[in-house]
Chain A
Amino acid sequence: MRFRRPRAKQAGLAAAVLAFAVVALLLNVPAPARAAPSVSSSTANFVAGSTPYATWNGVDINTASTASSALTIDLAQSATLNYSWPTAAGITINDARLQMFYFGFAVSTRDVTITPAQRAGPVSLSWTPLSISYVLEGVYRLTASLIAPNGSTMWSENFYVRGDAPLGFVALLPIVLLVLVVYELYGLVRSGRYATIGRKSTAVPPASPPTETPPSGTQTSAEPPVEKGPPPSGGSP
């Protein structure tokens, strides 16, 4: 007798295989590609003392190069960035840029175009990180960069900020996520009731008694004899 698997089991097996394949693919991504951010700090071409730098409200962004040392800011408040680079750096800049990244994408970008291009700074940039600060909070990576007239990035520096919600507690997204967590926990606790449904769908029907083959030439009264003649024609018009 051929055993047929339930559809739920097949779907679960397929999901497990898919999850395993995704994890294996992600673990096979080369380590340098995973570790390096999309825009890395590039200060190797400058001689000592001529490296450009930038300050966030007077604080050197170099002090917030890791997530644990992130600058605590209010996402709704305006911040002033000062880019500085000496003539000895030997670069000509016509664009000072600040970008905020989330899920690898620049969710917010601010540019100050310098016309004509300058061989030395400072350049000031005023920026409000998010106009929807009641929605998000958390740690974000920002990249400050200086761009040459030909579009190439001459200098860039990554730093981290920890954005707090204006109300000082939580923003809209964390509240929605908490509600989702509570709802899914409730669904998980009630998942035991689905056992009955699973059992009903996979239950084997009770075995029927074996049908005895009647001897040839005899007819049971329950089943009418099959006529060998032509099939009946269609109904009356």
Chain B
Amino acid sequence: MSAASHGAGCGVVLGIVVVIFLQQVSYLVLSDLVPTIEYLVIGAVVGGILGALVGWVLGRSYLARQSIGETTPAK
């Protein structure tokens, strides 16, 4: 599992949870099935893409930090 795929997994869950949370705080109406599924799918897709991007960026920065740590000579 890479950093991007882990971030995408977290983003998908976040997107779905945020949609349900917005209904609970009265920002969304989830009474009808079809708009509800649309909201959930859109939340999952958008969350997955954003999560993958964030994971990818964090993974690159983590690897950069690791490589700097490896190349720095021990004192």
Binding site for B on A (CB under 8 A): 8, 11-12, 15, 19, 22-23, 26, 29, 33-34, 37-38, 67, 70, 101-105, 136-141, 160, 162, 170-171, 173-174, 177-178, 180-181, 184-185, 187-189, 191-199, 201-202
Contact = CB atoms under 8 A, between A and B. Distances in A.
Q: Which 9 A-B pairs have the closest CB atoms?
A: A104-B33, A198-B2, A195-B59, A192-B58, A141-B31, A192-B62, A191-B55, A195-B3, A188-B10
Interface in B58-72: 58-63, 66
A101 B31 contact: yes
Interface of B: 1-8, 10-11, 13-14, 17-18, 20-21, 23-26, 28-38, 41-42, 44-45, 48, 51, 54-55, 58-63, 66
A79 B47 CA distance: 39
Given A23-B45, A188-B51, A194 B34 contact: no
A206 to B, nearest CB: 17
10 contacts: A11-B5, A26-B37, A104-B31, A138-B25, A140-B29, A140-B31, A184-B14, A193-B62, A198-B59, A202-B2
B13 A184 contact: yes
B23 A12 contact: no
Nearest to B60: A195
A206 B41 CA distance: 43
Contacts of A139: 23, 26, 28-29, 31
Nearest to A37: B32
